[in-house]
């Protein structure tokens, strides 16, 4: 038992001498249990700590078990359809995601301003919901099915959601993972160009179609400025065969927090490697962020491969990693 914060040293000279002698005897490993009880009782009388001082002790740091339990609670909340951070991109339909985003704005004017300033990638993804047989949707669904089947982890997103993430990444023209299931970049580029061609034709025919769509959605939801996300019903998580917007600027600040949580859970391997030098730390964080942006999760296989790929081969302190 720790006695660091239990007693304070008395100010009286005679009592202080007795206090120090009893503390030395208490720290002695050879002191019998019965004698320890007598010493504790005497110290409580001559140097008792005020009860309110116990509240000033720093809270204990969370253990790995606590962090894993937190991850389990978050996963259960996601399965129930709560408004967690991952439930934002898991809106079942394009209208479902737009409804969630509409709830994040204070009024109708703000919803219209957001629709007017929406990027082309978001508008193209909303338009592709009208073309389920578009080549970009088919390529994304084909690649998502393959990745889902090859992933042997127990917790992984639905195939439909993985296809939505893939389409959104292709439309945003990210500089990585732009190939289809056969490794062809040209087919994805051609499908993306065709999606933006459809968007240009739609804008030419109806320049305000996306704004009108946002207005109609806002009016249909009947949102009020005083409503908060906690009072909203759960988002519909029905499967979707066409892509919908995934990432919004509000999600970006959450990635560093997710990376920190992963490094805390995997402190024995990736966490220790990241603490080895700033170069390893920045490289590991960049890889984890890309994985979360692309797939929304980082399983044990990815963490093991990342560690083995980045570990310094000349240091015995970082042996190869065989399992999670």
Q: Mean pLDDT over residues 11-19, rounded? A: 84
pLDDT digits (tens, 9 = 90+) for 204-255: 998 888 888 888 877 765 444 434 444 444 444 444 444 444 444 444 447 7
Instruction: Give residue 209's Cα distance to chain centre.
Output: 33
Per-range mean pLDDT, top range of 113-117, 172-176, 202-206: 202-206
**What is the per-residue pLDDT for 98?**
55
Indicate if the alpha-carbon torsion angle 283, 258, 147, 90 is positive or negative: negative
Confidence of residue 11 (pLDDT cuts 50, 70, 90): confident
DSSP 8-state class, residue 189: H
Say if residue 273 is exposed, middle or buried (CB neighbours under 10 Å; 0-12, 13-18, 19+).
buried
133/227: higher pLDDT: 133
177/233: higher pLDDT: 177
**What is the per-residue pLDDT for 134?**
92
Q: What is the rounded distance in angstroms from the CA atom of residue 226 to the CA atom of residue 217?
A: 18
Q: Output the six-digit token pair for 79.
A: 């399965």
Q: Exposure string (b/e) for 8-31, b if CB count within 10 Å is 16 or more?
A: eebeeeeeeeebeebbeebeeeee
pLDDT at position 100 over 60: no
Percent of the chain with pLDDT over 70: 74
- Cα–Cα nearest to 125, from 154, 148, 96: 96
Confidence of residue 303 (pLDDT cuts 50, 70, 90): confident
List beta partners, residue 48.
7
pLDDT digits (tens, 9 = 90+) for 69-84: 888 888 777 676 544 4
**What is the per-residue pLDDT for 10?**
83
**What is the per-residue pLDDT for 174?**
74
122/59: higher pLDDT: 122
Q: What is the rounded distance in angstroms from the CA atom of residue 41 to the CA atom of residue 284?
A: 53
Residues with Cβ within 8 Å of 107's Cβ and at least 6 positions away in sequence, in order, are 225
**What is the per-residue pLDDT for 299?**
79
**In this structure, what is the dihedral angle of CA atoms 39, 40, 43, 49, given to the nearest 10 degrees?**
170
- Reduce the DSSP state of residue 190 to 3 states and report it: helix
Of the candidate ranges 38-52, 163-177, 273-287, 298-312, the one whose mean pLDDT is the lowest: 38-52
pLDDT at position 38 over 50: yes
Question: How long is the chain?
Answer: 324
pLDDT at position 60 over 60: yes
Confidence of residue 158 (pLDDT cuts 50, 70, 90): confident
**What is the per-residue pLDDT for 99?**
57
pLDDT digits (tens, 9 = 90+) for 178-206: 888 888 888 988 999 999 999 999 889 98
**Contact between 267 and 142 (Cβ < 8 Å):** no
Of the candidate ranges 88-97, 138-147, 267-276, the one whose mean pLDDT is the lowest: 88-97
CA angle 34, 37, 40 (to 5 degrees): 150
**What is the per-residue pLDDT for 82?**
45
40/91: higher pLDDT: 40
Q: How much is the mean pLDDT over the chain?
A: 75
């Amino acid at each position: 038992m720790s006695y660091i914060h239990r007693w304070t040293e008395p100010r009286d000279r005679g009592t202080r001498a007795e206090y120090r002698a009893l503390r030395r005897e208490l720290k002695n490993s050879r002191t019998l249990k019965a004698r320890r009880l007598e010493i504790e009782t005497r110290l409580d009388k001559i140097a008792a700590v005020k009860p309110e001082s116990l509240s000033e002790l720093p809270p204990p740091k969370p253990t790995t078990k606590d962090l894993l339990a937190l991850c389990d609670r978050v996963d259960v909340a996601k399965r129930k359809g709560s408004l967690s951070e991952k439930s934002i991109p898991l809106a079942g339909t394009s209208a479902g995601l737009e409804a969630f985003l509409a709830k994040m704005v204070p009024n109708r004017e703000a919803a219209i301003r957001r629709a007017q300033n929406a990027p082309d990638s978001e508008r193209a993804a909303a338009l592709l919901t009208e073309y389920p047989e578009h080549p970009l949707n088919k390529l994304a669904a084909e690649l998502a099915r393959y990745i889902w089947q090859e992933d042997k982890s127990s917790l992984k997103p639905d195939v439909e959601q993985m296809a939505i993430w893939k389409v959104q990444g292709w439309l945003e023209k990210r500089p990585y993972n732009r190939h289809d299931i056969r490794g062809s970049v040209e087919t994805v580029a051609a499908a993306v160009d065709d999606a933006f061609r459809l968007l240009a034709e739609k804008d030419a025919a109806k320049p305000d179609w996306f704004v009108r769509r946002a207005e109609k959605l806002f009016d249909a939801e009947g949102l009020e400025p005083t409503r908060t996300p906690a009072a909203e019903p759960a988002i519909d998580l029905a499967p979707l065969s066409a892509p919908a917007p995934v990432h919004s600027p509000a999600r970006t600040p959450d990635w560093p927090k997710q990376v920190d949580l992963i490094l805390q859970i995997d402190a024995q391997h990736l966490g220790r490697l990241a603490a080895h030098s700033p170069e390893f730390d920045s490289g590991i964080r960049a890889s984890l962020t890309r994985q979360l942006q692309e797939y929304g999760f980082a399983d044990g296989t990815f963490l093991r491969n990342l560690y083995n790929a980045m570990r310094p081969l000349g240091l015995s302190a970082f042996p190869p990693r065989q399992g999670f």
